[in-house]
Amino acid sequence: MHLANPAGTITGAIYISIEAGILLAAAFMLTRRLWLSIGFHMAWNYTQSAIFSGIVSGSISEPGLIRSNIRGPEVLTGGSFGLESSVLAFAFCTATGLVLLMMAVRRGRIVPAPWKRSTS
């Protein structure tokens, strides 16, 4: 879906698929509810756009509370797609997702697929 945005890029879509996929899925696995995943997504988008006036997933930047001017190499800033396409966000969100996933495993929250569950 993010590829349809005005400045959508393949790199951005791949990064979001991995970083947000792991993070949001692990948040669901840990809590077995959607509230944490939805909260992460809303907080990320709100903080980027409404507070820091940043670009969210290749969309157009709107003025927010703070007018930030992020400059530097595209690999660090995400370029026209926004921070989600940066190596920094990729590393931070993926690492956080892996920590949540480890917590879910330790708490026994991983549920087998329906076809692998015992029917006894």
Query: What pLDDT, in 10s, does the model give residues 28-86?
Result: 999 999 999 999 999 998 988 888 877 777 677 778 888 877 788 988 888 878 888 88
Backbone φ and ψ of 68, nearest 5°:
-90, 155
The verdict on residue 120 lying in a domain is: no
Q: How far is CA 8 from the centre of its chain?
A: 15
Total count of domains within the chain:
1
116 lies in a domain? no
Distance CA(83)–CA(75), nearest Å, equals 9
- pTM for this structure? 0.82
Give me the pLDDT at residue 32, please.
Answer: 94
Q: Is residue 84 part of a domain?
A: yes
Domain membership of residue 45 (yes or no) is yes
49 within a domain of the structure (yes/no) = yes
Instruction: Give domain status of residue 67, yes or no.
Output: yes
Domain span at residue 73 reads 13-108
